Amino acid sequence: MSLNAILVEDEANSREILRNYIAKYCPSVNLLGEASSIKEALVLIGDNDLDLVFLDVEMPFGNAFDLLDQLPDRTFETVFVTAYDHYAKDALNNHAAYYLTKPINIDELVNAVEYVEGVREKEASLEGEVLSTKSNGVEGKLTLPQQDGFQVLNIAEILYCKADDNYTEIYLLNKKILVSKTLKYFEDALTDYPFARVHKSFLVNVNEVVKYRKGKGGSVVMSNGKEVMVSASKKKDFLSYFN
């Protein structure tokens, strides 16, 4: 598969070496642009739909981690390229796909690109399927506090929950219930069941998802026909529910 990528490196000589290696040994990489600073990188990232960013750690006026801190909802994979090996732990904590040290080993570069290809191919295959859940169903009850007591719901009957400030709207097949609890409360209460937080405002019953539509984050269609947006930052966690 083709990988749309950019190269972020402040040293012109290092950019040239990596650019030439990519062109010669990594034909699947479509290099869309290069940046020599965090500011330039942010512009390129904002203007392109990327699969991969080759990212030097040390740059003027900051480093790679300062850049990533400004992109909490990033969907691209990151390959760190640096002359120093002591950043490896920080790279791991920032979910780097691969860590290359200078001078660049061509075999390691090829391995890094092939690893990212595998990750993106798996995501693409998941997105293209009619989704079926790993779980065969849920059992259990959920109690909803009310002024005169509480209401008991079968968890399996909940399609999704929607945030409404400090309230939550719980959607069943034929009705909606408003509860004076936050969505985070229900996310915690349903943590042992297949409910996925797909957006800051939505918690969905994965067993009631009938379709996934591709996009930066994409969207899911529920069994009642409701389409719910999936935020880019929640996409991977959501797809992990499916084979």
pLDDT given at position 129: 40
Question: Which pTM was predicted?
Answer: 0.54
211 has pLDDT over 60: yes
Name the range with the highest mean pLDDT among 75-79, 106-110, 137-141.
106-110
| 89-121: pLDDT as tens digits | 665 655 677 888 889 999 999 999 999 998 888
229 forms bridges with which residues in the sheet? 219
* Run of H or E residues at 68: helix 64-69
Q: Which of these ranges, 1-10, 90-99, 224-233, has the smallest mean pLDDT? A: 90-99
- What are the tokens at 184? 């985070």
| E-state strands within the chain | 3-8, 29-35, 52-56, 58-59, 62-63, 77-82, 98-101, 141-146, 149-154, 160-164, 167-171, 176-179, 195-199, 202-205, 209-213, 219-222, 227-229
Q: Which of these ranges, 7-21, 53-67, 124-138, 177-191, has the smallest mean pLDDT? A: 124-138
pLDDT-based confidence at residue 133 (cuts at 50, 70, 90):
very low
pLDDT given at position 89: 60
Write the CA distances from 34 to 48, 83, 100, 120, integer angstroms.
12, 19, 18, 22
| Contacts of residue 93, Cβ cutoff 8 Å, sequence gap at least 6 | none
Amino acid present at 7: L
Write the CA distances from 10 to 40, 62, 115, 230, integer angstroms.
10, 11, 25, 35
- What are the tokens at 219? 């969207």
35 forms bridges with which residues in the sheet? 8
Name the range with the highest mean pLDDT among 20-24, 127-131, 211-215.
20-24
pLDDT given at position 96: 75
| 10-68: pLDDT as tens digits | 899 999 999 999 999 999 999 999 999 889 999 999 889 899 999 988 777 777 788 88
Mean pLDDT in residue range 150-164: 88
- What are the tokens at 73? 């909802």
